Amino acid sequence: MGTGKSAVARELAQLLGRAVVDIDAEIERKAGKSISAIFAESGELHFRDIETETTRETARSKKQIISTGGGVVLRKENVEALRDSGMVFCLFATPEAILERTSTNRDRPLLQTSDPLGRIRELLAARDPYYRGSCDYIIDTVGKTPKEVALEILEKFCLAPGK
């Protein structure tokens, strides 16, 4: 969260002339409520079930840019669906940058705590092995515009073997 996934996906889609699908927005559309409301009413496990179903459905379509939530990598079936659909890029930012980017957004259920920076550090540490094991490339977004990150993704994609 807060690494720029949605903004970078929009830039990348514009550069490539492709559709962009934001998994979190799809979840909210299908559920008819916000992710925060899903967490509050049904818990994280229920949210992850919806996320898996939405990821699987979305990844069936090719030639689109998919933006996911940061926890999508916690389930192997999500990663498999995304990898079957195309290359997987992980956007990275420091905990401090993430806090700065998310501090005014109250719609982050995992950060509704007295120590959001500590929580960000915990989430990153816990998810790091999943990110490293599931992504083709990890790209640092700190100090870069969404367009700069999108161009970096395009460069890596064009240099990838078999592309």
Condensed to tens digits (0 to 9), the pLDDT of residues 116-153 reads 889 889 988 998 998 888 899 999 999 999 999 999 99
Q: Across the chain, which distance is largest between two alpha carbons, in Å?
A: 47
Spell out the alpha helix ranges (H) of 17-67.
Answer: 23-31, 35-59
Domains of the chain: 5-156 (3.40.50.300)
Confidence of residue 162 (pLDDT cuts 50, 70, 90): low
